[in-house]
């Protein structure tokens, strides 16, 4: 539906007063926003990992260097979907109530209108919450640290085991903070 109405919306911008100028500005803004979104979505924090050399029989294995790629926005668009779905529930419930009741009017005014300050604040807070929630479910620093320790891997400057898990948790928290704010701004 959005893609189908997009050419009509652009054509209506081009047909108004100062149409050509507004059209060019709109296209430039669209290109810049798409470029910034692609840049942020492709960005990642690379945590270096070293694997120790080990002898198995007469052969030497390991000794490689690699990294753990941590995306800025590990949750992708899931938090936006969850937040929009949960914010739609009060409006849905209000539709079944008496339309002249005070609570229905309040819900319609404050939660049903996407431009209402309370709706925007709740939307942003829910997106940030679900970014952290989804990331904590999909990336377990303790499990990653245990797997690294089991296979002889370590982060340079960080001891294997619990300190590695704490470091990864610290990095994930910082990255998710930036990613959740970015996602809330885009939404």
* Domain residue extents for the chain: 1-42, 45-186
Separation CA 118–CA 124 (nearest Å): 10
Question: Which range scores top for mean pLDDT: 48-62, 143-157, 168-182?
Answer: 168-182
Radius of gyration of the chain (CA): 24
Judge whether residue 164 has pLDDT over 70. yes
The residue-averaged pLDDT of 124-139 equals 96
The answer to whether residues 147 and 155 touch, using CB atoms and an 8 Å cutoff, is no
pLDDT band of 10, cuts 50, 70, 90: confident
Q: Is the pLDDT of residue 14 over 80?
A: no
Lowest mean pLDDT among 68-72, 79-83, 96-100, 181-185: 96-100
Cα–Cα dist 125/104, whole Å:
23
Its pTM stands at 0.82
Average pLDDT, the chain: 89
Mean local confidence (pLDDT), 84-100: 89
Predicted confidence band at 62 (pLDDT cuts at 50, 70, 90)?
A: low
- Give the length of the chain: 187
Res 32: pLDDT: 94
Which residue's structure tokens are 């891997």?
153
Average pLDDT over residues 26-43: 92
* Cα separation, 72 vs 186, whole angstroms: 14
Decide: helix, strand or coil at residue 98.
coil
* 141 pLDDT above the threshold of 80: yes
Cα distances from 17 to residues 5, 12, 31, 156, in angstroms, run 21, 10, 22, 61
Please check whether residue 145 is in contact with residue 158, taking contact to mean a CB–CB distance below 8 angstroms: no
* Residue of 120, 106, 111, 109 whose CA lies nearest to 90: 111
pLDDT surpasses 80 at 112? yes
- Confidence label for 166 from pLDDT (cuts 50, 70 and 90): very high
Residue 151, pLDDT > 70, answer yes
Is there a contact between 84 and 122 (Cβ–Cβ < 8 Å)? Answer: no
**Higher model confidence: residue 4 or residue 38?**
38
């Amino acid at each position: 539906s959005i893609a189908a109405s997009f050419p009509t919306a652009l054509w209506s911008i081009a047909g108004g007063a100062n149409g050509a100028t507004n059209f060019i500005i709109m296209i430039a803004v669209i290109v810049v926003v798409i470029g910034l979104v692609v840049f942020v979505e492709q960005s990642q924090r690379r945590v270096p990992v070293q694997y120790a050399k080990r002898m198995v029989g007469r052969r030497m294995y390991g000794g490689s260097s690699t990294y753990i790629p941590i995306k800025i926005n590990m949750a992708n668009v899931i938090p936006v979907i969850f937040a929009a779905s949960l914010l739609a529930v009060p409006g849905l419930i209000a539709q079944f109530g008496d339309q002249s009741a005070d609570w229905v009017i309040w819900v319609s005014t404050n939660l049903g209108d996407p431009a209402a300050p309370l709706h925007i604040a709740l939307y942003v807070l829910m997106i940030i919450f679900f970014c952290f929630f989804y990331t904590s479910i999909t990336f377990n620093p303790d499990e990653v640290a245990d797997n690294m320790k089991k296979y002889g891997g370590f982060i340079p400057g960080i001891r294997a085991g619990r300190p590695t898990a704490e470091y990864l948790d610290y990095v994930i928290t910082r990255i998710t903070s930036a990613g959740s704010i970015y996602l809330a701004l885009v939404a």
